[in-house]
Structure 1
Amino acid sequence: MSLGQAASPAAAPPAAAAPVLRFPPAPAPRPRPAAPILLSPPELTGGELAALREVLDSGWIAPAGPAPAAFEAALAAATGIPHQLATTSGTAALHLGYRLLGVEPGDEVWTSTLTFVATIAPAVQMGAVPRFLDVAPESWTLDPGLLERELARAARRGRLPRAVVPVDLFGQSCDLDAIAALCDRWGVPVLCDSAAALGASRRGRHAGQGARLAAFSFNGNKIVTTDGGGALASDDAALIARARHLAAQAKEPAAHYQHEVTGYAYGLSAVLAGLGLAQLPALGARVAARRAVFERYRAGLGALPGLGFMPEPGWSRANRWLSVALFRRPAGAPDREAVRRALAAAGIESRPVWKPLHLQPVFRAAPRAGGAVAAGLFAEGLCLPSGSGLGPAQQDRVVAAIRQVAGG
């Protein structure tokens, strides 16, 4: 090609093919985990907002006014115990009870070893010496036969307890008739810890009825709840009047603040009392629902080797606040802890029965009588989900998870 010739344009390269985009297949959607099943969640009736609105509209917020008084009257009707004081908690009610019974440093206070620490903690904090007694196998509550022997021995020593505090365990009434009769024989007052037993009865009488004093709880996990709250109850109007005085900082009637003794801020607020007023009408239905939950567990699990349930003596009608199963390993049941861990892995809450107080490190030096029955129940007992709103489908999940561990 000469210098004068124009260069012909070069041929354009062929257009590159559009890349083919290859996406990995979309992963299959993961199944959403089932909602957790809780041990004893609070349940609303639907009337709580209206009750709260009524309280707020009344202008009463403090522990005074019509709502606490109405709640106390409703509790009296529900339990048959005529005089009631609504308190900030069941523990506060017990503390007031110990104060009314004159517990002083060095006094002995006897209670069942199979209970929550709040049963005895206020007495210990007042300087009392706790003494723990074993439970009866047929009820899991304070053994009247053991109590009789120990009271007789204490009388011979000249050192009777200041108070005996039986416990209505997991919503089952203790044999309060026998316990109160024994204590009356030796002049020892009974303060019944009925914290979990609202709606329970024995021999036709409500739990706690017949004790010198009885304490109830309305904690968030109880069969009737005020979020936090409790009550102290008695047949003795003077005792509850004294408790009411102490619960309001023991103020004397005067234009100024006058105090002859010290008290506490233990009165239940009007707002929480309003919640209780909305909850109490559902008590009978909730007891029926929890008893039905217990029966479904017994039907679904009762045939498994070594598996049993908390007994109900013929004189008792428990509210079944918690359904409790026993996993007896020598009889072929799986280990209690293995079951609890398997339930937790499946999103199901459960809890061992109370660790007996005589086995708690804080009480290692406390005197006791017996304890083997309670210790065995702690080793083998597991509280299962028991809410009054627990549906059959949810309960089937619990049953299936236990049967899988048990190989049944």
Structure 2
Amino acid sequence: MGGSELKYIQDAFDTNWISQYGLNINEFENQLEKYLGNNSFVTALSSGTAAIHLALRMLNVQEDDFVICQSFTFVASVNPVLYQKAIPIFVDSETSTWNMCPNALEDAIKYCLQKGKKPKAIIVISLYGMPFMVDEILEISKKYEIPIIEDSAEALGSKYKNKLCGTFGDLSVISFNGNKIITTSGGGILISRNQSDKNRALYLATQAKENRDYYHHSEVGYNYRMSNISAGIGRGQLEVLENRIMKRRENHEFYQRVFQNYEEIELFEEPNDDFFSNYWLNTITIEGNNFNITKEKLKEKFSKNNIETRYLWKPMHLQPLYKDYKFFGADVCGTLFGSGLCLPSGTNLTDECKDRIVNVLIKIKK
């Protein structure tokens, strides 16, 4: 917590606006719209998953429609496709950003067209805070006239060519789950490009309740609106966002120094100056075995020293839930999963913690 969250929460209690209406929600949305710029219209919701689901609804994704999805991601990016009884088509990653491969994307689109159905949407991720190959993906989207749902759940504050993630999609998503760079305890936003789409999102997120003197409903809606209390937490967190980004990037600089003497371990980094990552998580891949180390052994050694690490996301096309769906690519993401590890990356990572990490790495060379 940044320290001022309780002020906004107390205000919600003092004014008796604690549910889905109130000043905190309005101000949280307004502040995010100013921060993002570029015609960003924000709807505060209960989760990033809810935002993806609403995006699919707003693009009229229906049963048996094709939706192209990045395979290398958390399952929440894809499950809403099944909510709509649509068909996910999985696309591999490329090696520079670990995000959607443009060549594999075009192969997937051509497959769908051969089947007689143009995909209704492309869900592209900015994984671990790293922006996707924006120019290439948007060019393909424009070429085939397929809208982009930009899942920047992990990428608040990241930029491509000095433009913020969350502003590239026809509809975009950011998460404020408890593990994100800032949080509302649980929550997310859907970012639209115009006021009309924002109004539509709010309508669907509040049970599709029409503006009448009585309860009137013409279509299915959802209970997806963020609470005024959660939005209060978000207002306090926005005050420390830039500090959080700076701290995460300082963590990355620490790992750069640490791994410069480890040829076998490659730190995931920005491909070039067009990319600015918030480094939500710092991740590595183990490329060699000069000291007979694997991701499993390294994870075990860290764990014995009470240092938490995690494996990279297991790609969706390798998950039992999604194993029968079509996948396009050379399984770059499967290779990454096989050799990669997420390292401690919290903004509260102390010098003492960093010393413990270094000591473990020193021991594995002995």
Sort the TM-score into its range (normalised by shorter chain). over 0.9
**Is contact 2:155–2:174 with CA below 8 Å preserved after alignment?**
yes
Post-superposition Cα deviations, 1:16-49, rounded to whole Å, max 9, x if no partner, equal xxxxxxxxxxxxxxxxxxxxxxxxxxxx111111
**Is contact 2:150–2:168 with CA below 8 Å preserved after alignment?**
no
2:213 alignment counterpart: 255
2:33 alignment counterpart: 76
Matched, 1:170 2:107: no
Matched, 1:351 2:310: yes
The AA in structure 1 aligned to 2:203 is: H
**Is contact 2:131–2:275 with CA below 8 Å preserved after alignment?**
yes
The AA in structure 2 aligned to 1:225 is: T
Aligned-pair distance for 1:371?
4.5
1:213 alignment counterpart: 171
The AA in structure 2 aligned to 1:252 is: E
How many residue pairs align between the two structures? 364
With the length of structure 1 as denominator, give the TM-score of the two structures. Answer: 0.86
Q: Which moved more, 1:327-336 or 1:269-278?
A: 327-336
Indicate the SS of the match to 2:43. Answer: strand
Aligned-pair distance for 1:200?
0.4
Q: What percentage of aligned pairs have identical amino acids?
A: 34
Matched, 1:335 2:285: no
Post-superposition Cα deviations, 1:116-137, rounded to whole Å, max 9, x if no partner, equal 0000101112111111111110
Q: How does 1:106-255 map to 2 (within 5 A)?
A: 106-255=64-213
1:46 alignment counterpart: 3
Indicate the SS of the match to 1:111. Answer: strand
Partners in 2 of 1:353 and 1:126 — Cα distance?
A: 27
Partners in 2 of 1:231 and 1:177 — Cα distance?
A: 24
Aligned-pair distance for 1:154?
3.5
The counterpart of 2:323, out of the listed 364, 370, 374, is: 364
Query: CA, structure 1 residues 176+331, in 2 after alignment: closer, same or farther (shift >3 Å)?
Result: farther
The AA in structure 2 aligned to 1:348 is: I
**Is contact 1:198–1:207 with CA below 8 Å preserved after alignment?**
yes
**Is contact 1:177–1:210 with CA below 8 Å preserved after alignment?**
no
Partners in 2 of 1:177 and 1:62 — Cα distance?
A: 40
**Is contact 1:305–1:332 with CA below 8 Å preserved after alignment?**
no
Indicate the SS of the match to 2:201. Answer: helix
Partners in 2 of 1:159 and 1:305 — Cα distance?
A: 47
The counterpart of 2:234, out of the listed 266, 276, 300, is: 276
The AA in structure 2 aligned to 1:351 is: R
Aligned-pair distance for 1:311?
2.7
The AA in structure 2 aligned to 1:270 is: N
Indicate the SS of the match to 1:166. Answer: strand
Post-superposition Cα deviations, 1:92-135, rounded to whole Å, max 9, x if no partner, equal 11111111111111011111110000001011121111111111
Partners in 1 of 2:290 and 2:318 — Cα distance?
A: 25
Partners in 1 of 2:290 and 2:96 — Cα distance?
A: 19
The counterpart of 2:63, out of the listed 105, 108, 112, is: 105
The AA in structure 1 aligned to 2:8 is: A
Q: How does 1:361-400 map to 2 (within 5 A)?
A: 361-400=320-359
Indicate the SS of the match to 2:239. Answer: helix
The AA in structure 2 aligned to 1:60 is: W
Aligned-pair distance for 1:153?
4.5
Query: CA, structure 1 residues 128+55, in 2 after alignment: closer, same or farther (shift >3 Å)?
Result: same
Indicate the SS of the match to 2:353. Answer: helix
Q: How does 1:281-360 map to 2 (within 5 A)?
A: 281-314=239-272, 315-330=274-289, 334-360=293-319
Matched, 1:66 2:39: no
Aligned-pair distance for 1:195?
0.4
Indicate the SS of the match to 1:219. Answer: coil
Q: CA RMSD in A?
A: 1.4
Partners in 2 of 1:174 and 1:214 — Cα distance?
A: 13
Q: Which moved more, 1:228-237 or 1:392-401?
A: 392-401
Indicate the SS of the match to 1:326. Answer: strand
Aligned-pair distance for 1:292?
0.7
Aligned-pair distance for 1:187?
1.2
The AA in structure 2 aligned to 1:70 is: E
Post-superposition Cα deviations, 1:259-300, rounded to whole Å, max 9, x if no partner, equal 001211111000000000000121111111101101101201
Detail structure 1 runs of 4+ shifted over 4 Å in the superposition: 330-333
Structure showing greater Rg: 1
The AA in structure 2 aligned to 1:204 is: N
**Is contact 2:107–2:328 with CA below 8 Å preserved after alignment?**
no
Gaps of 5+ in 1: 1-43
Partners in 2 of 1:116 and 1:91 — Cα distance?
A: 10
Gaps of 5+ in 2: none
Aligned-pair distance for 1:149?
3.5
Partners in 1 of 2:108 and 2:3 — Cα distance?
A: 49
**Is contact 1:112–1:134 with CA below 8 Å preserved after alignment?**
yes
The AA in structure 2 aligned to 1:249 is: Q
**Is contact 2:172–2:191 with CA below 8 Å preserved after alignment?**
yes
Post-superposition Cα deviations, 1:350-374, rounded to whole Å, max 9, x if no partner, equal 1010001111011110101014210
Query: CA, structure 1 residues 166+342, in 2 after alignment: closer, same or farther (shift >3 Å)?
Result: same
Aligned-pair distance for 1:235?
1.3
**Is contact 1:223–1:321 with CA below 8 Å preserved after alignment?**
yes
Aligned-pair distance for 1:347?
1.0
The AA in structure 1 aligned to 2:251 is: V
Partners in 1 of 2:290 and 2:332 — Cα distance?
A: 17
Indicate the SS of the match to 1:329. Answer: coil
**Is contact 2:8–2:24 with CA below 8 Å preserved after alignment?**
no
The AA in structure 2 aligned to 1:222 is: K
